Amino acid sequence: MNARSFDQVKSSLEDVIFELQSGSNDCEWFISSEKLIEILEIRREDYFKLLYTLRGEREYSSKGSQGFTQDNADLLVLLLEKVLKIEGLAYEFAKGGVYFDDTYLDEFRAFLKEIVLSKLERHDLDKELLLLLISSTKKFEDAFDSYFDDKFDLQRLVDNGITEFLDRKGFSGDYGADVFLRNYFFQILNTKLFPIRQITSEYRDRAYYEIFGKFREEEREKTKKKKSNFRKKFSSRSFYEDEDAETREHREFLGLSEEYTKAELKNKYKEMIKKYHPDVNKNGLEMTQKIIASYNFLVMKDR
């Protein structure tokens, strides 16, 4: 491949981003390999050779030979960095409003968390309403959840936060980024990625104290003991985290424990690919395909 000038690199990148923007619907898009070859002005054999070499750095899929969607955009970013010999292209995709990698999604979550905490900090507790809700529920947490829903328009809070986030970062919102981020937020709400009760716990403690004139440590300790005893009695992850049969099948195929981490998943994937890949094991094609399928399933399951 011939060396490219700065203007050629810039022009090629802009053309790729424009192509994605043209077909983007709420950050969902497709760009074919043929179109990329045309835009990048690269020989087909060089393109597919580079694409194939990426199999060791990202999960490789035959779909990548046909083109790319938002679901394997990280592979497209990596490919473009190799072709154009430039780094940091994830920023260009985010700036164009067509793809946000984990780094920017982490920033987005942190930004919304600060907005929620700031809103709570300025909020004056409506004791009468909270007392009314407490009297009609069994748990303080449930009462406060209802109070939070009533006093804070979370949908509006998130929409305003998205607009401010995109504006501050200089990211385009013209191609459905706002819709994508909104959907993403409500998918992760009340999960470990955005545990709203944990985020608002300090304000909940203050509200409890204002209502009852005492701290709620005793209540917390009782809850902790109940959870601890429950887990000791039923230590199997599949029991209390409801691991479905398909997940268990893929996890056990890769030889992972019930409490595996993302790092362990990646390491196990690399270890097995090195052992069974057809390049080193002529009879390993079927096994390699199963490894890739199980890895991709668990990656998507944990997102």
Are 135 and 68 in the same domain? no
Q: What tokens does 44 get?
A: 């087909």
Query: Residue 6: is its pLDDT beyond 80?
Result: yes
Residues 144 and 206: beta-carbon distance below 8 Å = no
Question: Could you tell me if 82 and 135 lie in one domain?
Answer: no
Residue among 293, 294, 291 at smallest CA distance from 275: 291
Cβ burial 146-160 (10 Å sphere, 16+ → b, else e):
bbbeeeeebeeebee
Write a three-state SS string for the chain: CCCCCHHHHHHHHHHHHHHHHHHCECCECEEEHHHHHHHHCCCHHHHHHHHHHHHHCCCCCHHHHCEEEHHHHHHHHHHHHHHHCCCCHHHHHHHCCCCCCHHHHHHHHHHHHHHHHHHHHCCCCCHHHHHHHHHCCCCHHHHHHHHHHHHCCHHHHHHHHHHHHHHHHCCCCCCCHHHHHHHHHHHHECCCCECHHHHCHHHHHHHHHHHHCCCCHHHHHHHHHHHHHHHHHCCCHHHHCCCCHHHHHHHHHCCCCCCCCHHHHHHHHHHHHHHHCCCCCCCCHHHHHHHHHHHHHHHHHHC
Across 103-109, average pLDDT: 96
Classify residue 211: in a domain, yes or no. Answer: yes
Q: Are residues 288 and 192 in the same domain?
A: no
Q: For residues 215 and 267, state if they share a domain.
A: no
* 277: CATH: 1.10.287.110
Pick the closest to residue 162 from 91, 105, 123 (CA basis): 105
Residue with the bigger pLDDT between 141 and 222: it is 141
For residue 61, is pLDDT > 70?
Answer: no
- Amino acid making up residue 152: F
Task: Give the residue numbers spanning the domain of 26.
Answer: 6-57+64-96
Does 175 share its domain with 83?
A: no
Query: How many domains would you assign to the chain?
Result: 3
Within a domain: 272: yes
Q: What's the full length of the chain, in residues?
A: 303
The average pLDDT across 265-271 equals 87
The structure tokens 């691991």 sit at 243
Give domain status of residue 129, yes or no.
yes
The pLDDT confidence band at residue 226, using thresholds 50, 70 and 90, is: low
At residue 224, the pLDDT reads: 55
Report whether pLDDT(235) > 50: no
Using one digit for the tens of pLDDT, what is the confidence trace for 11-20? 999 999 999 9
Number of Cβ within 10 Å of residue 244's Cβ equals 9
Q: Of 118, 98, 106, 86, nearest to 6 (Cα)?
A: 86
Q: What is the pLDDT of residue 239?
A: 37
The residue with tokens 């984990």 is 102
Among 261, 301, 302, 269, smallest CA distance to 288 is for 269
CB 296, CB 59: distance < 8 Å: yes
pLDDT at 60: 46
Task: Tell me: do 74 and 140 sit in the same domain.
Answer: no
Neighbours of 120 (CB within 10 A): 19
237-266: per-residue pLDDT in tens?
443 345 778 888 888 899 998 888 888 888
Adjacent-strand bridge partners of 67: 32
Residue 4 pLDDT class (50, 70, 90 cuts) = confident
Q: Which of 65-79, 116-130, 194-208, 277-291 has the lowest mean pLDDT?
A: 277-291
* Per-residue pLDDT at 292 exceeds 80: yes
Residue 142 or residue 286, greater confidence = 142
Mean pLDDT on 127-136: 93
**237 in a domain, yes or no?**
no
pTM check: above 0.85: no
Does 228 reside within a domain? Answer: no
Please name every residue paired with 25 in a beta bridge, in sequence order, or none if there are none: 28
269 is a domain residue: yes
- Region 132-150: what's the mean pLDDT? 92
Q: What are phi and psi of 190, to 5 degrees?
A: 70, 20
